[in-house]
Amino acid sequence: MAGPRVRHNFRDLQDEYDKGNKKPLETLIRAFKGIQELPPHDHNSFFFLAGLHGEPFRGAGWGNASWWGGYCNHGNVLFPTWHRAYCFALESALQSIPGCEDVTLPYWNEIEENTLERGIPETFLKKKWTFEDGGVIDNPLYSYTFQKKITDNLNPFPDADYSKGYGYKTCRYPYSGLVGPADKKKTEEHNAKINALGHDKVNEILNENVQSWLLHTDVDGVEGRGGVLEKYFNCLKAPNYTVFSNTTSATQWNEDHFNVGLPAPATVSPHVVPLESPHNDMHLAVGGYEIGDANFDGEYPGANGDMGENDTAGFDPIFYFHHCFIDAMFWQWQKKHGEVKQLHIIPQYPGTNSVDNQGPTPGTPGGAWLNLHTPLDPFKFPGTNKPMTSKVR
Ligand SMILES: N[C@@H](CC1=CC(=O)C(=O)C=C1)C(=O)O
C-alpha cells in the first residue's frame, strides 16, 4: 500500500455497507478471518499477535507474578506508544492477506452519538456473517476461537486461572470466560443462564453496560466509576505527555498539584485524567469486571469476559478497534499540545520505571528507566531490524 494509511470510523464502513457499498466492510472481515486462520506460529496470525499483549506469558513473568509475562505496557509512559506499535502490527498482518492489501484498521468511535445512543456497532455483535455471495462464516469480529491452548502458570496465584483450552471462544459481558478447572462448573452454570436470555437480550445488556460506563458516574452504584465520555474529553487537557500517558504518573501529579490521587474524582476538571483511565473503563465495560475487584458486583455477578483482563484482552477482536480509537485520541492530544514530532517524558517521574504498575515486560530489567529510546518489544521499524521506540522520527 502506497502513502499513509488512512483509518476510518468503523460505523462509516457499516453505514456504507447498509447503503450497498459492501466491499470495504467485507474486505475487513475477510482480512480478520484470514489472520484468524493462519497457524499460531505464523507471525501474522491472530493467535500470535493477540498473544503478544498478555498470555501466553514468557520471560521472567512466565511463572512469577512480580514480573509481567506479556509485552504490553500499562501504568507507565509507554502505554500509548506501545499500543500504537501494536495496532500498526495487527494492521500490517491484515494487509498480508491476499486481496486485503489496502485494508486499514478502523476505529470504534466510543464518544460519538451513535455509540452513546446505541452502544457497540452492530457488526461486532453478530454471531454469523453472511457475505454478499451467500457464504456464511462465524463472525471473526464477534469472537475468536483458540487454535491452541494457553496455560496460566501463575495459577492459583495471584487471582484467577486464565488458562484457556483449545477451541475456547472469546466472550464479553455478561458472559464469563473463566474456564480453568476450579471455575469451569460455575462458568458453565453462569453462561447457561445468560444463554437462556437469548442473543438479542444479551447484546442489549452489553450495550446498556457500555452506555452506562460512558454516561453515568456511578456504575452499579459505585460512585466515581464511569463518566468515561467526560474522561475522554478531559484527558485531552492533560498538560504534558508524561501525565497524559498513564495512570501512575497522573496519580502522582494529582497528589502533587491537587492533593488528590486517582481514581477518585477523575472526571472532575482540573485534575489530570490520563488517557489510560477511560481506556481501562472501556475494557471493563466490554469485558465485565476484573477478577478480585471487590467494588463491583454488577447486575450480572460472575461476568468475566476476555476484554476485562490484561491477560486475555488481546484475543477479543474488538480490542483492536478500541485501541485504534485510543490511538486517535493520542493523536488528538499530540496535535493539541504541539507534540506531533517529539514527545517529552519527565525523567524519573513515577510511571517511568519498568517496575511501576504491572511489572517489567519480558527482557526488561527491573528498575530500568523508561524513556523515548526504550525498545517497544517485540516490534521493529518496518523493513529493518531496529527496535521500534517512542521517538517520533
Ligand atoms: N485492568 C484494567 C482494565 C484493563 C486494561 C487493559 O489494558 C486490558 O487490556 C484489560 C483490562 C482495570 O482494572 O482498570
Task: Please give, one letter per residue, the 3-state secondary structure of 296-357.
Answer: CCCCCCCCECHHHCCCCHHHCCHHHHHHHHHHHHHHHHHHHCCCCCCCCCCCCCCCCECCCC
Query: Residue 291 has what pLDDT?
Result: 59
Taking the CA atoms of residue 183, residue 174, residue 306 and residue 77 in that order, the dihedral angle to the nearest 10 degrees is -120
Q: How many other CB atoms sit within 10 Å of the CB of residue 191?
A: 18
* Minimum CA distance residue for ligand 1 atom 4: 280
- Asked whether residue 55 carries a pLDDT value surpassing 60, the answer given is yes
Pairwise CA distance, residues 8 & 217, whole Å = 30
**Nearest CA residue ID for atom 9, ligand 1:** 310
In this structure, are residues 368 and 356 in contact, taking their beta carbons and an 8 Å threshold?
Answer: no
How many C-beta atoms lie closer than 10 Å to residue 289's C-beta?
A: 25
ipTM of the complex: 0.98
Per residue in 125-138, pLDDT (tens digit) is 999 999 999 999 99
Choose one of 78, 262, 291, 309 to mutate for the ligand 1 pocket test, by most ligand atoms within 8 angstroms of C-beta.
309
Q: How far apart are CA 371 and CA 21, in angstroms?
A: 45
Residue 177 scores a pLDDT above 90: yes
Question: Is pLDDT of 297 > 60?
Answer: no
CA distance 383 to 246: 30
Its pTM stands at: 0.96
Tell me, using a 6 A CB cutoff, whether residue 376 lines ligand 1: no
Band the pLDDT of 148: cuts 50, 70, 90: very high
Report the alpha-carbon distance of residue 250 to residue 262 in Å, rounded.
Answer: 7
pLDDT for res 270: 65
Per-residue pLDDT at 288: 86
Amino acid at 120: I
CA 312 / ligand 1 centre spacing (Å): 10
Say if residue 155 is exposed, middle or buried (CB neighbours under 10 Å; 0-12, 13-18, 19+). Answer: middle
Give the pLDDT score at 309. 94
Most ligand 1 atoms within 8 A of CB, residue of 251, 310, 318, 325 to mutate: 310
| Whether the Cβ atoms of residue 330 and residue 275 lie closer than 8 Å to each other | yes
Is pLDDT of 341 > 70?
yes
- Find out whether the beta carbon of 309 lies less than 6 Å from any atom of ligand 1: yes
Cis amide linkage into residue 239, ω under 30° from 0? no
With a cut of 80, say whether residue 268 has pLDDT above it: no
Nearest by Cα to 14 from 145, 171, 101, 129:
129
| Mean predicted confidence (pLDDT) in 333-348 | 97
In percent, how much of the chain has pLDDT > 70?
93
In sequence order, what are the residues at sequence separation of 6 or more whose Cβ sits closer than 8 angstroms to the Cβ of residue 255?
A: 261
